[in-house]
Amino acid sequence: MTEHSPIHFPPEWAQQSAVLLAWPHAQSEFNPWRTDVEATYEEIAIAVSQRQRLIIACNDDTLRDQVASRLKPYLGSISFAKLPYDLEWVRDTAPLTVEIGQKAKLLDFRFNNWGDKYEFDNDVAFARNLYKSGAIGKTSMETVDFVLEGGSLETDGEGTLLTTARCLLNPNRNPELNQSQIEEQLKSSFGLQRVLWLHHGFAEGDDTDAHVDTLARFCSPDTIAYTASNDSEDPIHGELKAMEDELKAFRTAAGKPYTLVPLPVPKPIYSEEGERLPATYANFLIINKAVLIPVYDDDEDATAFIRLSKCFPDRDLIGIAATPLIRQYGSIHCMTMQFPKSLVLPEL
C-alpha cells in the first residue's frame, strides 16, 4: 500500500467470506448452449458451496426456485440475490473490495460495457442493484467515477498491482486520463505502492481488450502463472512471447525476479462462425482450500494441473468444464467474484 495508506487490496488467496455468481437466465446470450452452461455453473456452485458461502444472483423468483431445486443438497451454504442483469460476467460488474483496518469497504467503479462495445444497462447498474438487494450486507460502498473492470486487475496483496496497457490505457475506458493519472487513481483506490504494466499478450477472441486474468495471475506475492505458447505458428505466439519477456524483466518489491510458471495454450476452439474462442488456463479461481481450473477436454489440461499444483500445494485442484463458458468469450474467473473474510454477510 502507499506510504501511510490505510487501504489494503486483499489477494484472491486470502480467506474469503463468499463467492458470487449470476445464474444464466432465459434471455441470456448463453441460451444456445444453456444445458451445458448450467452444468458448468452447477460444477462451480457445488465446489464453492462445499467450502464457503455462495451467493447466486437470479433475475426473478422462477429462476431462483429452479436453481434452488437443482442445488438442493447444498442450500445450507447458499444465499440468493434477486436483481436484473443482462450478462453473467460479475467479475467486471460486481463491486471490488478493499480493507481499511479490519473492515471491508466496497468500491463501485463505472462499467461501460468493455469500452462501449455493447449496451447492457442492467450490467452498468449491477453493483448498485446487488448492494440494494441486501445480499452482501451493509458494508459501506463508495461510487468511484472511473471506468474499471475486476478482470483487469491482479494484486499480490502487498501493494503491487499487475495489469495490461491494452485495457487500462485504452481510450475506450478513461480517455481524459494519461498513464500517470490512471496509476494515481489505482494507487489511491487500492492503497498501492506500484503498478506493473504488461504491454503485450492477448487471448484471441477476447473482447475485453486483454484482461490480465486471461494472461497472468499472481499465485503468491512472488509467483506469477502466465499463458505461454510453444507453437511458433500460432497467431498469438509472438505477443505471448513478448509478454513472457516483460514478466521476466519484472522484479518484486524486494528487487528479486518473480518465479514464473508457464501455462500451456489448449488447441484452438472455434465458434460456429469460425472465430477462435479465448481458451486459457490462466482464468482459474482461487477459493478457500481449492482452486477451480478451466479445462477443455484437451491434452494440455493435465499440464496445466501439474504446473498449478506446484503453485497451490495446500489446495485442492478442481477441473471445471469451461468450453461452454468461452462460447460467450469468458471463463471461470470472469463469471465469479470473491469477497474477503472481512466482508460481513447477512446470516443464512
Instruction: Determine the pLDDT at residue 5.
Output: 79
Q: Look at residue 2 and tell me if it is in a domain.
A: no
Q: Look at residue 292 and tell me if it is in a domain.
A: yes
Beta bridge partners of residue 317, listed in sequence order: 291
Q: Look at residue 326 and tell me if it is in a domain.
A: yes
For residue 342, the 8-state DSSP code is T
Q: Look at residue 346 and tell me if it is in a domain.
A: no
* % of the chain exceeding 70 in pLDDT: 99
Q: 122 and 132 in contact (C-beta within 8 Å)? A: no
Q: Look at residue 14 and tell me if it is in a domain.
A: yes
Q: Look at residue 314 and tell me if it is in a domain.
A: yes
Average pLDDT rounded to a whole number, residues 227-253: 97
pTM assigned to the model:
0.97
Average pLDDT rounded to a whole number, residues 121-143: 97
Task: Please give the grid coordinates belonging to residue 229.
Answer: 505458447
Task: Please give the grid coordinates belonging to residue 125.
Answer: 447498474
**Predicted confidence (pLDDT) at residue 161 exceeds the cutoff of 90:** yes
CATH of the domain at 230: 3.75.10.10
Number of domains in the chain: 1
Average pLDDT rounded to a whole number, residues 78-103: 97
Q: Look at residue 196 and tell me if it is in a domain.
A: yes
**Predicted confidence (pLDDT) at residue 55 exceeds the cutoff of 50:** yes
| Domain ranges, residue 12 | 7-340
DSSP H or E run through 164: strand 160-164
Q: Look at residue 205 and tell me if it is in a domain.
A: yes
pLDDT tens-digit readout, 253-308: 999 999 999 999 999 999 999 999 999 999 999 999 999 999 999 999 999 999 99
Instruction: Determine the pLDDT at residue 1.
Output: 46
CA dist., res. 13 & res. 340, Å (int): 9
Average pLDDT rounded to a whole number, residues 68-90: 98
**Predicted confidence (pLDDT) at residue 158 exceeds the cutoff of 80:** yes
**Predicted confidence (pLDDT) at residue 321 exceeds the cutoff of 70:** yes
pLDDT band at residue 3 using 50, 70 and 90 as cut-offs: low
Written as one string, the DSSP assignment of 181-232 is HHHHHHHHHHT-SEEEEE-S---TT--SS--GGGTEEEEETTEEEEE----T
Instruction: Determine the pLDDT at residue 9.
Output: 98
Task: Please give the grid coordinates belonging to residue 80.
Answer: 440468493
Average pLDDT rounded to a whole number, residues 148-176: 98
